[in-house]
Each structure stands twice: as structure tokens, then as C-alpha cells.
């Protein structure tokens, strides 16, 4: 009973997510679902990319509570919109559909969706994105790929943040990358210093290339 209901919820979500993605693609919008733990640096990544990407850019911020990140991004001049789930541990396709009805994403824009801070549930749901990227902070420790393999396996890139405190925290980057190679072979890893923006140029270039590749198919 529980299992078949769960499957029905997934199937309904996936159908709606495919429809959302098709609608966004028709308008030339490229959509990125940003995943990661609480405090991994998802909002910093978005703000660093907003500085570097030349097309119009809109952001949907997902949080269990508060609109802190939306206010942060708006203060930087970013077109950001808040979904407050009130308790739900991940965004789903119906939430995105409802939000897209309220906000105005420009044609040919970037749409970044910052998911709830959680390494588990958000990995299970497609929400209309072209690709997922996962943000992982050195402060979380190098064992995270082994402990949360699904989120890394389903992401198209891993952004590795807070490496400036790696030594203080005892983070072993080689061990992290070894774990990644096991659970998500070939996954590109981009270091990012969220405070200085160092590393964000490479991520922006990679995203632009991914977008071009998708448009070519």
C-alpha cells in the first residue's frame, strides 16, 4: 500500500516535471536544480554565477522556513522568488509549476532552483530541471559520497566549497574524490570559494557548455 502510493506520487511528479521542462525548453530557458546540505554554499554559488552569466537569470529559493536567501539574492539585484515548504523536505514539480505561474522568467534565461538543504530527499525528485548539481562543503567531511551516494550519482557536477578550511577541519580531498569516483564515476568536481568567487568562472563556463550541448540535441 505504502509502496504503491509512493510509486504513484513519483510517477505523477515525474510526468509534471517532464511537462514543465518541455515548456521551459520551448522558451529557451535552461534550468538547473541545485542540491546540497544546509550551509553547503548553494546561495553563494547562485550569487557568484549571477555575477558571471550574461543572459537574464531567475532563481527559485526553496526553504523549509524563512526567506533569508531570497532577500540576500534580491539585495544583490537577482530576480529571486521564495518557496517556503513549511516542513516538506524537498521541492516537487507541483511547487515549481505553481511558482512559475507567479514569477516572470524571461525567455532564453537561466533558471536556478535552489532546493531544500538536504542530501537525501531532493535527489529523489525531478522538478523540471535540465540538470542537477550538488554543492558539498569541505566542512561536511570527505566521507559524504560514501554516505549519500544517490545525490552524487544523479548530479551532473559537484561543486566543492570551503576548501580554505580543509586543513583546519581535517578534510582529505583525495579521499573525497576517491569516494566520488566510486559512487559517481567521471563526475566533474569544481572547487569554489564562495567568499571570493574563485572558481566560479570555471563553473559558469561549464554551465554554458552544458547548455549549448543540450540545445544541440
Burial of 79 (0-12, 13-18, 19+ CB in 10 A): middle
Nearer to its own copies by Cβ, of 146 and 206: the residue is 146
User: Is residue 199 a contact point for its own copies (CB under 8 A)?
Assistant: no
User: Is residue 68 a contact point for its own copies (CB under 8 A)?
Assistant: yes
Nearer to its own copies by Cβ, of 56 and 141: the residue is 141
Angle, alpha carbons 148-116-24 (nearest 5°)? 105
Angle, alpha carbons 155-111-38 (nearest 5°)? 55
DSSP, collapsed to helix, strand or coil, labels residue 85 as coil
Among 14, 55, 64, 79, binds its own copies (CB under 8 A): 64
User: Is residue 153 a contact point for its own copies (CB under 8 A)?
Assistant: no
Kindly report the length of the chain. 217
Q: Which three cell numbers stand for residue 58?
A: 531567475
Among 24, 137, 163, 176, binds its own copies (CB under 8 A): 137
Q: Which three cell numbers stand for residue 145?
A: 559520497
Cβ at position 209, least distance to its own copies in Å: 30
Q: Which of residues 12-41 bind its own copies (CB under 8 A)?
A: 37-39
User: Is residue 141 a contact point for its own copies (CB under 8 A)?
Assistant: yes
User: Is residue 140 a contact point for its own copies (CB under 8 A)?
Assistant: yes
Q: Rounded CA gap, 127 and 129, in Å? A: 6
Among 19, 66, 98, 107, binds its own copies (CB under 8 A): 66
DSSP, collapsed to helix, strand or coil, labels residue 169 as helix
Among 2, 4, 54, 217, binds its own copies (CB under 8 A): 2
Q: Which three cell numbers stand for residue 214?
A: 543540450
Q: Rounded CA gap, 113 and 72, in Å? A: 15
Sign of torsion, CA 122 126 127 130?
positive
Q: Which of residues 89-128 bind its own copies (CB under 8 A)?
A: 89, 116-121, 124
Q: Which stretch binds its own copies (CB under 8 A): 74-82, 125-133, 162-170, 196-204?
A: 162-170
* Contacting positions for its own copies (CB under 8 A): 1-2, 5, 9, 37-39, 63-66, 68, 87, 89, 116-121, 124, 137, 139-141, 143-144, 146-150, 162, 164-165, 168-170, 195
Amino acid at each position: 500500500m505504502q509502496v504503491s502510493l509512493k510509486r504513484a506520487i513519483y510517477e505523477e511528479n515525474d510526468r509534471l516535471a517532464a511537462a514543465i521542462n518541455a515548456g521551459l525548453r520551448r522558451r529557451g530557458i535552461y534550468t538547473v536544480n541545485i542540491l546540497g546540505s544546509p550551509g553547503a554554499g548553494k546561495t553563494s554559488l547562485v550569487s557568484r554565477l549571477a555575477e558571471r552569466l550574461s543572459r537574464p537569470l531567475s532563481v527559485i529559493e526553496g526553504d523549509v522556513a524563512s526567506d533569508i536567501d531570497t532577500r540576500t539574492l534580491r539585495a544583490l539585484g537577482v530576480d529571486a522568488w521564495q518557496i517556503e515548504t513549511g516542513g516538506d523536505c524537498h521541492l516537487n514539480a507541483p511547487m515549481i509549476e505553481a511558482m512559475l505561474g507567479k514569477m516572470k522568467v524571461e525567455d532564453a534565461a537561466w533558471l536556478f532552483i535552489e532546493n531544500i538543504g538536504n542530501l537525501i530527499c531532493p535527489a529523489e525528485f525531478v522538478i523540471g530541471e535540465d540538470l542537477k548539481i550538488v554543492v558539498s562543503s569541505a566542512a561536511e567531511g570527505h566521507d559524504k559520497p560514501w554516505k549519500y551516494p544517490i545525490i552524487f550519482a544523479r548530479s551532473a557536477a559537484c561543486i566543492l566549497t570551503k576548501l580554505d578550511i580543509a586543513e583546519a577541519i581535517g578534510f582529505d580531498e583525495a579521499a573525497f574524490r576517491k569516494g566520488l569516483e566510486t559512487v559517481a564515476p567521471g563526475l566533474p568536481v569544481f572547487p569554489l570559494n564562495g567568499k571570493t568567487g574563485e572558481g566560479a568562472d570555471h563553473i559558469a563556463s561549464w554551465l554554458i557548455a552544458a547548455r549549448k550541448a543540450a540545445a544541440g540535441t
